[in-house]
Amino acid sequence: KHTLSGSTERTLMKLLVDDNTDRVVGLHMVGADAGEIVQGFAVAMKAGATKAVFDSTIGIHPTAAEEFVTMRESVKAPAIEI
């Protein structure tokens, strides 16, 4: 599915959220400008942003970065203790 109008470029994005605290604890991105986009979100994570904060943020359209604040489908995976 291409979310950016007219784009055939593919991008992979994943947001990691602590189920107990709702804090965003990580994110992954593979695609164009990933370094630039991830750096901006690193500031939000360092400040303790929650998934609710991401959900209430208006995305800048049309950008790949807006996908991080419009992710709504949750995929639960069991935690792995190291």
> Which residues are known catalytic residues?
61
Helix (H, G, I), strand (E, B) or coil at 13: strand
CB atoms within 10 A of CB 32: 12
Can you read off the two tokens belonging to residue 76? 């639960």
d(CA 53, CA 30) in angstroms, rounded, equals: 23
